[in-house]
Amino acid sequence: MRIISGKFKGRRIIASGKLPTRPTTDQAKEGLFNILSNNYNFNNLSVLDLFSGIGSVTFEFASRGTTDITAVDNFYRCVKFVDKTAKELDIEVNTIKSDVFSFLKKPFRTYDIIFADPPYDFKDQQFEEIIAEVFKNEFLSTNGLLILEHSKHTKLPAHPNFIEKRKYGSAVFSFYKNQK
C-alpha cells in the first residue's frame, strides 16, 4: 500500500500477506481523495474507517492532516498492524477491535466522514444494513458523508440519502449524505 498525498506522500506500508485484507487500490483512493479534497478541510474532520484492514484509508486521511480518526476492524492482527503503523508514523488513531455490525448497533459518537470497505463478497442486504445502521443510530454529523466501497456487481437499492456513485476500475464508491 502506498500513501498518495500529504505529509507521508509516497510512503509504502507493507503488511503481511497473511492479513485478511483487500486494500483500496491507489487509483480508486486517488479518485476518492480528489473528490474529498475539493469539499473538505481534512484538518477539521472526524473520520470513522469501518472494515479498516491495514489502514489504507485511515493513513491517507492522517497524511492529509486529519487527527480525529477511529478505525474499526474485526481482526485482531489488522488492529495491531494499524496501531503499530500509527506509532511508527507518530500519529494518533483510535483503533477498535469489533465486528462492524455490533459496533454500529451501539451509538458511539458522530463523524463527519464514515468510510466503509466491507468484503466484496458481502450480500447486498449486508451493505444495506451498514447504510441503515449508520443513519438509524445517527453516526453522521450534520451534513456528514457515508462512503461505501463495493464491487460493480453490488446492487444497492435507492436510499433517500444517496447522492452519487463513482467507479474507479473494479471499485465503486457510493456516497450518502446526512441531510439534517
The pLDDT tens digits for 126-135 are: 999 999 999 9
Question: So where are the chain's domains?
Answer: 26-33+42-177
**Percentage of residues in the chain with pLDDT exceeding 70?**
95
| pLDDT tens-place string over residues 108-159 | 799 999 999 998 788 889 999 999 999 999 999 999 999 999 988 888 878 9
pLDDT of residue 19: 57
User: If you search the block for the grid coordinates 483503533, which residue do you land on?
Assistant: 95
Grid cell in block for residue 86: 500509527
Give the integer Cα–Cα distance in Å for 60 and 169: 19
Beta strand spans in 3-161 (E)? 46-50, 68-73, 94-97, 111-116, 140-151
pLDDT bucket at 7, cuts 50 / 70 / 90: very high
26-33+42-177 — its CATH code?
3.40.50.150
**DSSP bridge partners of 146:** 114, 176
Q: Are strands 140-151 and 162-168 parallel, antiparallel or unpaired?
A: unpaired
